[in-house]
């Protein structure tokens, strides 16, 4: 039938027909798949060298991180303070040591040999040195745990020791007037320290709780909070002091003179691990939320470090870290977050926030202009606990590493290798790799990129991988012939001469998945005598929903199978003698279009008869009248169709259920009926050649009918059965005969009429 549109309607008709074509094309199931590579998600920190990835999936320029070689410092490195002339003071645990580290400038970039030397400055009585503050005259202030002691150290000698009424001293904050604030835990308090008066306090061995005695030693209470620990302090240009707590994770503000705090941000089961103030009066706070106390990243009583085997078997951190921004005038907001990662320290680098983290040695950045989180090159250790700027080198920081303990340098100005490697990418099924295309290269030519790929059929991170294969530029993309696997790793390397200001967008990897065989999930042979009136299939959609556009696989040719099956199940069944119905359900994992051939073979013949050839329907009905009685073997041949190319189409033969053609009625071998005082009772026995017997029907000549499908032996499972009946007298009053009908599972029936003689009177 031809559609004819009036002249004015023809433009709309063209649009309508184009839309119908577009919907049909979109809802078809393409064989080629597209795998999106989001570099911000798919590249771990440790796999970056001189590059960074952003949370929008792009690759940008980034710093280099170099792990330094040197002598062992301690099992745990807690804090670091610059001491001038490439020297740094490190607070450690669990032996309460303060160590001076001196970098070797010629080797700080990671050349062979030791990059630093270390010497012991002091050994304190407590196991953990959480806080250090170098004073203007060169003296050193130290705070410890699990006994909250304050130490003043001159030239490596302890000249003063005061034990505060707290468990831990977490950090120090130097004030412009020369005093120092100490953040403490259990209870959460802030003490102001006058270093000059502390110098004359002497070495005390007992805890001092009396405020007057503390004041005599130059220690006064600046402020206190209800939370257990004051974790971190920061000073704003206005003189206000910002404090972060744990285990609630609140952020507080104190006036310059101290006193009661103001809560700026309230949390729960969180640790405010660091605070970074900015010149305009705003500041950032790093928050780590944990789901259980076992996940807590910072403890008032740090445990002795676990053995290597215990560290390797430790459960993955399940908390979540966030970066909160507090404007000078306005309300705080969470500007970035990361799951499964613990933030540790914050720093300010070239207008961005630098974030050290764990538990995989991650380093992050936050760009306030783009409002995006960046992933920088990371360390081989598990945690980056602290950092401090290197002498006279903008954009260079010294990092404290833990698990394993050591030092590293992060350098935003270094030139050298710029490379990244993705994590293991799972294609879902084995596939042949096609081209890799970048959405867009900004400020960079494709000739400046070198790409490599390796594949594996197994998920093991270490073994089973192919060698790195170069991806050759072709047609504005990159590809390599013969790469097949389920898992893929990609390596991107930039030419050293490439510019530093560039952006590489997300990439799309095209692949052809393995063609998997169809699967028979359901097969049914209906009882004889039923005919099927199929429900009409719904017409193809003339409109396209947004969900179908965004997820075309949900509306693909096979994706609509559930809807077609639901429609098919509304078909009507009618009585149709000698008719048989066969129905099947076949699913194809790849969504291929399928054709079916249904065949039968009567034993013992070897010839197959095709009852349906290359049909798209999932059912068949046929007349069994021309077929002789017997047991027939059946098979269903499933063949993939276009758009799968002919050379790639799979065909599979399913051996299906036996089909019994039985048009012969069963034989009644025994039939009795006799009256009793209670009514009529009797027995009917019979046998059948092919089908199981199914039951008997009783038709009394007074109009009463009854059916019995429960055999004498209790189980209806044989081609030879006996059926007993017992009918009450009130139901067959006046009846003089009964017709017994024996029928089998194929619906064949045999009848016999039995008289009902009157019973003798006693």
**Rounded Cα distance, 150 and 131, in Å:** 10
**Rounded Cα distance, 433 and 451, in Å:** 14
The structure tokens listed for 318 are 């399940």
Q: Provide mean pLDDT across the span 446-469.
A: 95
pLDDT digits (tens, 9 = 90+) for 466-502: 999 999 999 889 999 999 999 999 999 999 888 889 9
Predicted confidence at residue 546, as pLDDT, reads 84
What string of H, E and C letters represents the secondary structure of 25-66?
A: HHHCCCCCEEEEECHHHHCCHHHEECEEEECCCCEEECCEEE
Q: Provide mean pLDDT across the span 397-411.
A: 95
- CATH no., domain 519-542+556-661: 2.60.40.10
- Sheet-wide strand order for 693-700: 705-708, 693-700, 737-744, 749-755
Predicted confidence at residue 591, as pLDDT, reads 87
pLDDT digits (tens, 9 = 90+) for 43-102: 999 999 999 999 999 999 999 999 999 999 999 999 999 998 899 999 999 999 999 999
Predicted confidence at residue 111, as pLDDT, reads 47
Predicted confidence at residue 407, as pLDDT, reads 96
Predicted confidence at residue 400, as pLDDT, reads 97
Give the pairing type, strands 507-513 and 33-37.
Answer: antiparallel
pLDDT digits (tens, 9 = 90+) for 571-582: 999 999 999 999
Give the pairing type, strands 64-67 and 406-411.
Answer: antiparallel
Work out the pLDDT band at 419, boundaries 50, 70, 90. Answer: very high
Mean pLDDT of the chain: 89
Predicted model pTM? 0.78
**Rounded Cα distance, 248 and 267, in Å:** 6
Eight-class DSSP state of 713? T
Predicted confidence at residue 106, as pLDDT, reads 52
pLDDT digits (tens, 9 = 90+) for 592-638: 999 999 999 999 999 999 999 999 999 999 999 999 999 999 999 99
Q: Provide mean pLDDT across the span 218-239.
A: 97
Q: Between 563 and 135, whose confidence is greater?
A: 135
pLDDT digits (tens, 9 = 90+) for 672-721: 999 998 999 999 999 999 999 999 999 999 999 999 999 999 999 999 99
Position 2 pLDDT exceeds 50: no
The structure tokens listed for 584 are 């099947």
- Beta-strand (E) ranges in 439-577? 441-442, 449-456, 469-474, 477-479, 484-494, 503-504, 507-513, 519-525, 530-533, 572-575
Q: Which residues of 550-582 are buried (b: 16+ CB within 10 A; e: fewer)?
A: eebeebbbbbbbeeeeeebeeeeeeebeebbbb
Predicted confidence at residue 45, as pLDDT, reads 93
Listing DSSP states for 680-705 in one string gives: EEEEEEEE-SSSPEEEEEEEETTS-E
In 3D, which of 553, 506, 505, 456 has the Cα closest to residue 35?
Answer: 506
Chain centre distance of CA 657: 42
Q: How far is CA 509 from CA 431, 435, 456, 516, 602, in A?
A: 11, 6, 16, 21, 52
pLDDT digits (tens, 9 = 90+) for 318-337: 899 999 999 999 899 999 99
Q: What are phi and psi of 212, to 5 degrees?
A: -70, -40
Element (H, E) at 195: helix 195-198
pLDDT digits (tens, 9 = 90+) for 649-671: 999 999 999 999 999 999 999 99
Whether the upstream peptide bond of residue 341 has omega within 30° of 0, thus cis, is: no
Q: Provide mean pLDDT across the span 170-180.
A: 97
Q: Provide mean pLDDT across the span 275-282.
A: 96
**Rounded Cα distance, 494 and 449, in Å:** 5
In 3D, which of 119, 181, 174, 176 has the Cα closest to residue 150?
Answer: 181
Residues for the chain: how many in total? 762
**Rounded Cα distance, 63 and 570, in Å:** 65
Q: How far is CA 314 from CA 294, 306, 308, 309, in A?
A: 11, 9, 10, 9
Work out the pLDDT band at 300, boundaries 50, 70, 90. Answer: very low
Q: What are phi and psi of 729, to 5 degrees?
A: -65, -35
* In this structure, CATH architecture of domain 667-755: Sandwich (2.60)
**Rounded Cα distance, 131 and 172, in Å:** 6
CB atoms within 10 A of CB 243: 28
Predicted confidence at residue 634, as pLDDT, reads 97
Distance in Å from the first CA to the final CA of the chain = 85
Eight-class DSSP state of 106? G
Write down the domain spans for the chain: 235-363, 422-513, 519-542+556-661, 667-755
Eight-class DSSP state of 127? S
**Percent of the chain clearing pLDDT 90 (strictly above):** 78
Contact residues for 638 (Cβ-Cβ < 8 A; gap 6+): 518, 520, 586, 594, 595, 596, 651, 652, 653, 654
Work out the pLDDT band at 553, boundaries 50, 70, 90. Answer: low
**Rounded Cα distance, 332 and 336, in Å:** 12
**Rounded Cα distance, 358 and 173, in Å:** 25
Give the pairing type, strands 270-277 and 283-289.
Answer: antiparallel
pLDDT digits (tens, 9 = 90+) for 96-124: 999 999 998 754 444 457 899 999 999 99
Predicted confidence at residue 295, as pLDDT, reads 52
Q: Do domains 519-542+556-661 and 667-755 have the same CATH topology?
A: yes
Strand partners, 419: 49, 493
Predicted confidence at residue 328, as pLDDT, reads 94
CB atoms within 10 A of CB 459: 10
**Rounded Cα distance, 343 and 285, in Å:** 10
Q: Provide mean pLDDT across the span 230-248.
A: 97
**Percent of the chain clearing pLDDT 70 (strictly above):** 90
Q: Report helix, strand or coil for 563.
A: helix
Position 165 pLDDT exceeds 80: yes
Token pair 């698990």 is found at: 403
Contact residues for 354 (Cβ-Cβ < 8 A; gap 6+): 346, 347, 348, 363, 364, 365, 376, 387, 397, 410
Whether the upstream peptide bond of residue 86 has omega within 30° of 0, thus cis, is: no
C-beta separation of 481 from 434 below 8 A: no
Q: How far is CA 541 from CA 16, 447, 535, 537, in A?
A: 12, 46, 18, 12
């Amino acid at each position: 039938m031809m559609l004819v549109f009036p002249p004015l309607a023809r433009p709309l008709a063209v649009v309508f027909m184009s839309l119908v074509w577009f919907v049909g094309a979109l809802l078809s199931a393409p064989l080629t798949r597209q795998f999106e590579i989001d570099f911000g998600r798919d590249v771990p920190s440790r796999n970056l060298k001189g590059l960074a990835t952003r949370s929008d999936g792009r690759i940008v320029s980034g710093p280099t991180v170099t792990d330094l070689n040197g002598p062992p410092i301690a099992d745990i490195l807690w804090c670091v303070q610059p001491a001038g002339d490439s020297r740094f003071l490190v607070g450690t645990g669990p032996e309460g040591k303060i160590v001076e580290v001196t970098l070797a400038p010629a080797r700080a970039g990671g050349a062979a040999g030791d990059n630093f030397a270390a010497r012991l400055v002091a050994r304190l009585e407590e196991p953990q040195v959480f806080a250090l503050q170098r004073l203007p005259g060169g003296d050193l202030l130290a705070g410890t745990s699990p006994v909250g002691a304050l130490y003043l150290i001159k030239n490596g000698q302890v000249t003063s020791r005061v034990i505060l009424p707290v468990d831990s001293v977490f950090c120090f904050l130097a004030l412009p007037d020369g005093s120092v604030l100490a953040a403490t835990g259990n209870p959460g308090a802030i003490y102001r320290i006058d270093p000059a008066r502390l110098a004359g306090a002497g070495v005390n061995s007992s805890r001092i709780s009396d405020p007057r005695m503390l004041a005599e030693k130059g220690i006064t209470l600046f402020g206190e909070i209800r939370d257990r620990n004051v974790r971190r302090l920061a000073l704003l240009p206005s003189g206000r002091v910002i404090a972060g707590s744990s285990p609630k994770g609140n952020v507080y503000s104190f006036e310059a003179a101290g006193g009661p705090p103001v809560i700026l941000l309230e949390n729960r089961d969180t640790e405010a691990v660091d605070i970074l103030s900015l010149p305009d009066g705003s500041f950032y706070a790093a928050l780590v939320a944990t789901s259980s106390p076992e996940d807590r990243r910072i403890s008032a009583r740090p445990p002795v470090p676990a053995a290597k085997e215990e560290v390797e078997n430790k459960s993955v951190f399940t908390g979540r870290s966030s970066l909160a921004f507090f404007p000078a005038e306005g309300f705080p907001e969470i500007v970035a977050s990361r799951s499964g990662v613990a933030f540790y320290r914050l720093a300010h680098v070239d207008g961005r926030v630098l974030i050290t983290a764990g538990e995989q040695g991650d380093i992050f950045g936050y760009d306030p202009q783009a409002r995006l989180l960046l992933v920088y090159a990371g360390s081989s250790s598990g945690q980056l606990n602290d950092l401090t700027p290197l002498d006279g080198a903008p954009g260079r920081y010294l990092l404290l590493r833990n698990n394993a303990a050591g030092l590293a340098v992060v350098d935003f100005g270094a030139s050298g290798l710029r490379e990244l490697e993705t994590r293991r990418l799972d294609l879902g099924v084995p596939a042949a790799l096609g081209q890799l295309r970048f959405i867009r290269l900004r400020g960079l030519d494709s000739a400046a990129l070198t790409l490599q790929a390796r594949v594996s059929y197994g998920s093991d991170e270490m073994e089973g991988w192919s060698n790195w294969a170069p991806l050759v530029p072709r047609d504005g993309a990159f590809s390599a012939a013969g790469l097949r696997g389920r898992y893929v790793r990609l390596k991107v390397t930039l030419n050293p001469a490439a510019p530093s200001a560039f952006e590489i967008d997300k990439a799309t990897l095209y692949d052809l998945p393995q063609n998997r065989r169809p699967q028979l999930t359901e097969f049914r042979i209906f009882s004889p005598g039923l005919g099927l009136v199929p429900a009409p299939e719904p017409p193809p959609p003339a409109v396209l929903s947004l969900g179908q556009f965004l997820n075309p696989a949900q509306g693909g040719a096979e994706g609509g199978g559930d809807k077609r099956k639901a429609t098919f199940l509304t078909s009507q069944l009618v009585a149709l003698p000698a008719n048989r119905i066969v129905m099947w359900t076949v699913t194809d994992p790849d969504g291929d279009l399928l054709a079916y051939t249904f065949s039968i073979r009567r034993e013992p013949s070897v010839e197959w008869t095709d009852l349906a050839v290359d049909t798209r329907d999932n059912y068949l009905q046929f007349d069994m009248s021309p077929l002789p009685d017997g047991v027939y073997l059946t098979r269903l041949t499933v063949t993939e169709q276009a758009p799968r190319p002919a050379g790639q189409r799979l065909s599979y033969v399913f051996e299906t259920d036996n089909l019994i053609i039985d048009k012969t009625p069963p034989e009644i071998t025994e039939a009795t009926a006799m009256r009793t005082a209670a009514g009529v009772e009797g027995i009917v026995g019979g046998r059948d050649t092919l089908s199981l017997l199914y039951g008997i029907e009783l038709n009394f000549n007074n109009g009463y009918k009854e059916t019995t499908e429960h055999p004498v032996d209790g189980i209806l499972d044989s081609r030879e059965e006996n059926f007993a009946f017992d009918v009450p007298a009130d139901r067959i009053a006046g009846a003089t005969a009964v017709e017994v009908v024996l029928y089998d599972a194929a619906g064949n029936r045999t009848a016999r009429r039995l008289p009902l003689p009157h019973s003798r009177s006693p």
